[in-house]
Amino acid sequence: GFQVLPRRWVVERTFAWLGRCRRLAKDWEQSVASSTAWTLIASIRMLTRRIARHCQA
């Protein structure tokens, strides 16, 4: 039967966070390298915001 995997939710949550970035919501990029770079930029942006919130508290 169906069994919930705990790590699945982590992956889906991360994809949802990356989906908020307009450029990553659709596949606009011509090359894989460009798409990878924008994914890294979005990840760095998320991490810096999380660190900034943690430091303010």
**Domain tally, the chain:** 1
Q: Is residue 17 part of a domain?
A: no
The CB density around residue 10, as the number of other CB atoms within 10 Å, is: 10
Q: Is residue 23 part of a domain?
A: no
pTM, two decimal places: 0.67
Residue 45: which domain range?
33-57
Q: Is residue 11 part of a domain?
A: no
Q: What's the one-letter identity of residue 4?
A: V
Q: What's the one-letter identity of residue 21?
A: C
Q: Is residue 51 part of a domain?
A: yes
* More confident of the two residues 55 and 2: 55
pLDDT over threshold 90, residue 9:
no
pLDDT attached to residue 12: 85
pLDDT tens-place string over residues 14-56: 888 888 888 887 778 889 898 889 999 999 999 999 999 989 8
pLDDT over threshold 90, residue 11:
no
Q: Is residue 48 part of a domain?
A: yes
Helix, strand or coil, per DSSP, at residue 47: helix
Q: Is residue 54 part of a domain?
A: yes
Q: Is residue 49 part of a domain?
A: yes
Helix, strand or coil, per DSSP, at residue 48: helix
16-52 core/surface letters (b: 16 or more CB in 10 A; e: else): eebeeeeebeeeeeeeeeeeeebeeebeeeeeeeeee
